[in-house]
Amino acid sequence: MSLSYRQPPNRWELRPGEIHVCAVALAASPVCIAKLEGVLSPEERQRARRFRTAELTQAFVAGRGILRTILGGCLHLPPSDVPLEYGERGKPRIRGGGRLRFNLSHSGGQALYALAVDCEVGVDLERIRPMPDCESIAERFFSAAEQRDLRSAPPRQREAAFFTCWTRKEAYIKAVGDGLSLPLDSFRVSLLPSEPPTLDARGDSQEWSLFDVSPGQSYAAALVAEGPRTEVRGWAFGDAGDCTAYFG
Ligand SMILES: CC(C)(COP(=O)(O)OP(=O)(O)OC[C@H]1O[C@@H](n2cnc3c(N)ncnc32)[C@H](O)[C@@H]1OP(=O)(O)O)[C@@H](O)C(=O)NCCC(=O)NCCS
């Protein structure tokens, strides 16, 4: 069953043993975008300028500004002071260690932010869209068992099954932090709507749990977290302004 997203509580608290997922629409007024741009680091502002279109620049500014605002709320720091750095393969993290872990994903104007204490997380979101070549993409990236499962899905459900598989695989590689250097056919996820979310990564000595965290019917989304099953809570924010007002 997919996660249900609720209104955030009056007083927000992240405890060990819980994972919180914030769903935020990246839409933002020009005033809000200017405010979010103001919390970015000089390197992030430079990166924002390198995107090909104004939409992509705006999505990055909103996504990164919201990330800084949420993390600032967790760490009791101004968003611009959140010390972000990157792991060897690009996974963002808080410099200096600490117990807070996070990951994010955005697609189709929507973003998901996963937060946890002492527990690595990876999250991936994709808007479900027509994908006529999904079987040939699956041949390139999915394991043989996943390709078989995809072919067995009823044609009407094939695209949703494809994105379910894609996001589950991405969430795992993002949790591990290895990016695409981890062979995508070295582990298996379930993808059929009739089956619960499962992840079989036998070669990995670490235990991981997989959750369906779709924020709506037109999205596939997955969360992978370190350790045995944990409590996952979902919070919905209307747009960037709502989220920054809450955490800021
Ligand atoms: C970068 C990657 C981790 C995810 O990229 P994506 O799905 O295009 O983008 P998402 O929106 O889901 O995630 C982007 C965020 O992941 C984070 N990220 C980057 N590298 C990461 C890593 N190694 N581990 C975890 N998170 C990472 C970043 O914070 C990034 O946010 P930013 O762009 O605002 O900095 C990587 O897996 C990738 O390039 N995937 C390409 C798609 C592909 O071929 N997938 C095959 C799946 S079957």
- The CATH code of the domain that includes 64 is 3.90.470.20
Under 8 Å between Cβ of 149 and 143: no
Domain-embedded: residue 217: no
Q: Is 24 exposed, middle or buried (0-12, 13-18, 19+ CB in 10 A)?
A: buried
Domain-embedded: residue 168: yes
Is the pLDDT reported for residue 229 higher than 90? no
What are the C-alpha distances in Å from 177 to residues 37, 47, 91, 100, 120? Answer: 27, 21, 5, 15, 9
Mean pLDDT of 226-246: 92
The pLDDT confidence band at residue 167, using thresholds 50, 70 and 90, is very high
Domain-embedded: residue 125: no
The pLDDT confidence band at residue 2, using thresholds 50, 70 and 90, is confident
* Same-domain pairing of 90 and 169: no
The pLDDT confidence band at residue 179, using thresholds 50, 70 and 90, is confident
| Residue 182 or 165, more confident | 165
Under 8 Å between Cβ of 156 and 164: no
How far is Cα 245 from Cα 133, in angstroms, rounded to an integer?
A: 42
Q: pTM for the full model?
A: 0.96
pLDDT value of position 178: 85
Domain-embedded: residue 219: no
Mean pLDDT of 9-31: 93
Does residue 104 have its Cβ closer than 6 Å to ligand 1?
yes
Which amino acid does the sequence have at 238? G
* Same-domain pairing of 172 and 235: no
pLDDT value of position 182: 83
Atom of ligand 1 nearest to the CA of 122: 25
Nearest to 244 by CA among 32, 83, 44, 61: 32
* Same-domain pairing of 25 and 96: yes
* Same-domain pairing of 12 and 101: yes
Is the pLDDT reported for residue 230 higher than 90? no
pLDDT in tens, 109-158: 999 999 999 999 999 999 999 999 999 999 999 999 999 999 999 999 99
Is the pLDDT reported for residue 165 higher than 90? yes
Among 41, 44, 162, 170, residue to substitute to test ligand 1 (most atoms within 8 Å of Cβ) = 170
- Domain housing 71: 5-119+230-247
* Same-domain pairing of 235 and 114: yes
The pLDDT confidence band at residue 242, using thresholds 50, 70 and 90, is very high
What are the C-alpha distances in Å from 96 to residues 90, 99, 177? Answer: 16, 10, 17
Q: Take atom 6 of ligand 1 and give the residue whose Cα is closest.
A: 105
Under 8 Å between Cβ of 114 and 223: yes
* Same-domain pairing of 96 and 135: no
* Same-domain pairing of 241 and 198: no
* Same-domain pairing of 236 and 141: no
Does residue 8 have its Cβ closer than 6 Å to ligand 1?
no
Our count of domains for the chain comes to 2
How far is Cα 69 from Cα 72, in angstroms, rounded to an integer?
A: 5
* Same-domain pairing of 108 and 147: no
Under 8 Å between Cβ of 33 and 58: yes
pLDDT value of position 185: 86
pLDDT in tens, 183-206: 888 899 999 999 999 999 988 888
Atom of ligand 1 nearest to the CA of 90: 20
pLDDT value of position 219: 96
Q: Is 43 helix (H, G, I), strand (E, B) or coil?
A: helix
Domain-embedded: residue 115: yes
Domain-embedded: residue 84: yes
pLDDT in tens, 61-95: 999 999 999 999 999 999 999 999 999 999 999 99
How far is Cα 91 from Cα 55, in angstroms, rounded to an integer?
A: 24
228 CA to centre of ligand 1 in angstroms: 24
Nearest to 62 by CA among 85, 31, 83: 31
Mean pLDDT of 195-218: 93
* Same-domain pairing of 33 and 92: yes
Domain-embedded: residue 26: yes
* Same-domain pairing of 89 and 114: yes
pLDDT value of position 123: 98
Domain-embedded: residue 216: no
* Same-domain pairing of 92 and 138: no
Under 8 Å between Cβ of 231 and 21: no
pLDDT value of position 223: 98
pLDDT, mean over the chain: 94
